[in-house]
Structure 1
Amino acid sequence: MSAGPTEPEQRPGRLRPTSAGAITAWSVVGLLGGWLVHAVVDRTGGTPPVVTWAQPLALLLVAAILGATAYLTWRAVHVHETRLDPQQAVNRLVLARACALVGALMAGGYLGYALSWLGVDTDLADQRLWRSLVAAAAGAAIVVTALLLERACRVRSDEDPP
């Protein structure tokens, strides 16, 4: 006799993949934050930050490292069919989830900052716009490679259909 709704039965030791809702929420928070940076700095009389090539290149480096880790993990688990050490698997899953959420935040933040420069006629507006768009794309690459790493860590259990 249960008064509340029944919850679906979950098997112990299972993690759900990072949800699209969580990634979207972090992206929206980043979008608003990036857009607010320009507005707040203008209102306080400061100078808005300049986006150098170092920021998108650093994000691309993180995406490349995640992509390489995803590929090596996928190869080890699915091609060579070796088992990862449990601690190593958990570390990679935590890394993947954290990078997916932070990558979404960064992509949204840089996109919001880029959008805040649309229609602004100042010396560095175009530079800030284009470099921010490149950084936003690099943040999106982090999200994609992090989700690939998360997917590479999946192993079939004996109960799963082939």
Structure 2
Amino acid sequence: MVGAWALAGLVVGLLVRPVADWFDSTAPIVSWAQPLALLLVAAILGVTAHATWRSVHVRRERLEPHQAVNRLVLARACALVGALAGAGYLGYAVSWIGAEAELADERMIRSGVAFVGGVLTVVAALLLERACRVRSDERS
């Protein structure tokens, strides 16, 4: 499922620049806010995954059912959105390769950082999902 969202994001990202050109419009500028937001989400998910892992697997505490479901839903949603956004920014960066526009390099660099943020978001989300799992012999 994550792969399908990433593929969709890649296709959309590759199409943004040509569609903007077709409509005689300016292609979107990527500010530092977008990559930093993805990196912030990845950091929050990573901290949550670490705290959950320590609670469940090290201290052997039980999560309340609603807490576990909330964390699993958060992790799944962030994995899908991280894949979509990260791949979208990768496609957008690739669409600028070889372009001679004055902001092409800036768009590629910022989109590349946003791609890394998207990948880190997916990884942190999957780690959070994994932290919520309990072994079958731990259930009582």
- Which of 56, 59, 63 lines up with 1:77 in the alignment? 56
Deviation string for 1:7-30 (max 9, x for gaps)? xxxxxxxxxxxxxxx111111100
The Cα shift of 1:149 comes to 0.2
Which deviations, in whole Å up to 9, do the C-alpha atoms of 1:91-143 show, x marking residues without a partner?
00010011011100011100000000001001100100111011001000000
Shift of 1:159: 8.5
Equivalent of residue 12 in structure 2, options 33, 55, 58: 33
1:108 maps to what in 2? 87
| Partner residue in 2 for 1:18 | none
- Structure 2 length as normaliser, TM-score? 0.97
Matched, 1:44 2:23: yes
Question: What corresponds to 2:135 in structure 1?
Answer: 156
Structure 2 unmatched ranges of 5 or more: none
- How far apart, in 2, do the equivalents of 1:89 and 1:64 lie? 19
The answer to whether the aligner puts 1:64 opposite 2:43 as a matched pair is: yes
Structure possessing the higher relative contact order (Cα contacts under 8 Å, 6 or more residues apart): 2
Deviations 1:62-113 (A, max 9, x none): 0000000000000000000000000000000010011011100011100000
Of structures 1 and 2, the larger Rg is shown by 1
Query: Which residue is equivalent to 2:101?
Result: 122
Structure 1 or 2: larger helix share? 2
Q: Number of matched residues?
A: 139
The aligned counterpart of 1:15 is none
Distance 2:39 2:138 in 1: 38
- 1:112, 1:159 → 2: CA distance? 44
Root-mean-square deviation (CA), in Å? 1.2
User: Secondary structure in 1 aligned to 2:137?
Assistant: coil
Once the two structures are aligned, what percentage of the paired residues are identical?
65
Instruction: Return 5+ residue gaps in structure 1 as ranges.
Output: 1-21
